[in-house]
Amino acid sequence: MKNIVILISGGGSNMAAIVKTARRDGWQDKFGARVAAVISNKASAQGLLFAQEQGLATGVLDHKAFGSREAFDEALAKEIDRYDEPGQPVLVVLAGFMRILTPGFVGRYAGRLLNIHPSLLPAFAGLHTQQRALDAGCKFAGATVHQVTADLDHGPILAQAVVPVLPGDTAEVLSARVLTQEHLIYPRVIAELLQKQ
C-alpha cells in the first residue's frame, strides 16, 4: 500500500478535499494508495478534528519545542517515515503547512514532496499573496501545485488554476474563490501522480 502523509498547520480544507476525493474515487482499489496520516505543527489546527473524525492517524509535532529548524525537520521525517512500506516510499503532501523546510528535509523527499501555494507562481511566492495580487492590480489570481525544492515556492509546476479578480474583491473574498479551485486541482494532481507509479 502506498501511503500518503498530509502536513497541515490550520483549517485543513485542502487535506479534507484530498481525503474525500480519495474515498469517493476509490484510490485504495485504483492505485493501492491511501491517506495514512495527517500531521500538524500546531495542536490547535482545526483540520486535525476532521482527520480524527475520518478515523485517520493524526500527530502533532510542535515546532516550538525544537531548538532548530533541523531538529524539527529531523523529528518530522521520523514521524513520516513510519508510513514507508517496503518498496513504497511515502508521498508527502503539504496542505497549508506553514513552515519553511530545510534543504535536508526537502532532499530526503525529493520527487515525492508536493505543495499548494495560493498564487500563480512564480508570481507572489511567500505570504499575503491575495493582498499583493490586489495591490498589483492583477486581473487574475489563482493557485499552483508544485514539487517542493529547496528554492521556496519555486519547484516544478504540476498544475495551476486561474480565477478572475472581481471589482470590490478583498483579500478574504479572493482567497475563498482561489481555495475552491485548490480543492479541485490538488486531489487531481495527486491522482495523476499515483496513476503513473
For the annotated catalytic residues, the residue numbers are: 117
Q: Residue 93: what are its φ and ψ, rounded to 5°?
A: -120, 115
Instruction: Give the C-alpha separation, 151 to 33, whole Å.
Output: 29
Q: Is 93 in the site for ligand GAR (CB under 6 A)?
A: no
Q: Is 96 in the site for ligand GAR (CB under 6 A)?
A: yes
41: which DSSP letter? Answer: S
**Of residues 33, 36, 95, 121, which one binds ligand GAR by CB under 6 A?**
95
> CA-CA distances (angstroms) from residue 19 to 28, 63, 78, 92, 106?
11, 25, 23, 14, 24
Only one of the segments 5-13, 49-57, 100-108, 163-171 lies at the binding site for ligand GAR (rule: CB under 6 A); that segment is: 5-13
Q: Is 182 in the site for ligand GAR (CB under 6 A)?
A: yes
- Is residue 187 reached through a cis peptide bond, with omega within 30 degrees of 0 on the bond before it? no
Instruction: Give the C-alpha separation, 19 to 67, whole Å.
Output: 33
Q: Is 10 in the site for ligand GAR (CB under 6 A)?
A: yes
- Pick between residue 96 and residue 155 the one whose CB is nearest to ligand GAR: 96
DSSP string computed for 105-129? HHHHTTTSEEEEESS-TTTT-SS-H
- Pick between residue 108 and residue 183 the one whose CB is nearest to ligand GAR: 183
> CA-CA distances (angstroms) from residue 175 to 10, 36, 114, 132, 152?
15, 28, 20, 12, 20
x/- contact string, 135-154, with ligand GAR (CB under 6 A)? --------x-----------
**Of residues 61, 73, 102, 118, which one binds ligand GAR by CB under 6 A?**
118
- Pick between residue 118 and residue 187 the one whose CB is nearest to ligand GAR: 118
Instruction: Give the C-alpha separation, 9 to 48, whole Å.
Output: 9
**Of residues 4, 12, 145, 147, which one binds ligand GAR by CB under 6 A?**
12
Q: Is 14 in the site for ligand GAR (CB under 6 A)?
A: yes
Instruction: Give the C-alpha separation, 125 to 159, whole Å.
Output: 16
x/- contact string, 39-68, with ligand GAR (CB under 6 A)? --------x---------------------
The site for ligand GAR (CB under 6 A) is made up of 8, 10-14, 47, 95-96, 116-118, 143, 179, 182
